[in-house]
Amino acid sequence: MANRQNKVVDGLVNPAAIGGLTVIADQIVIDDGAVVTITFPAYTIFTNICTYSGTAVAKTKAVSSGIGTVTYTATGDGTLDYVIVASTNTTVAAFDSSDGTIAVTPVP
């Protein structure tokens, strides 16, 4: 598969409030067994959301030395749509709830 460049949307909100927020989105057609790897500057990958019209798609995400990597592996031919949200300047630790109960209350 050829290399592909994405338009990276940066600075979606006031940089004084949330600086370095990055959104990467695309739609591509891939074959059975294909592996799609997206790399970009990041300290934290908040989410990688995808839909796939083929049989299934496995996904992984990782950050190492300021570089984020998201990988999708396809089963069956299909169209992959994805949205990745990351931070290029803030490291956010994963939260693990030991009792399985999490309440999130946004602050106005």
Residue 37 in domain:
yes
Residue 100 in domain:
no
Q: Quick one: tokens of 50?
A: 């995808």
| pLDDT per 10-residue tile (average), the chain, 108 residues | 62 61 89 94 92 95 94 96 89 77 81
Residue 66 three-state SS: coil
List the CATH number of the domain containing 12.
2.60.40
Show the domain range for 46: 8-87
pLDDT of residue 11: 57
Residue 95 in domain:
no
Residue 107 in domain:
no
pLDDT of residue 18: 61
Q: How many domains does the chain fold into?
A: 1
Cα–Cα distances in Å, from 80 out to 7, 11, 13?
A: 17, 25, 27
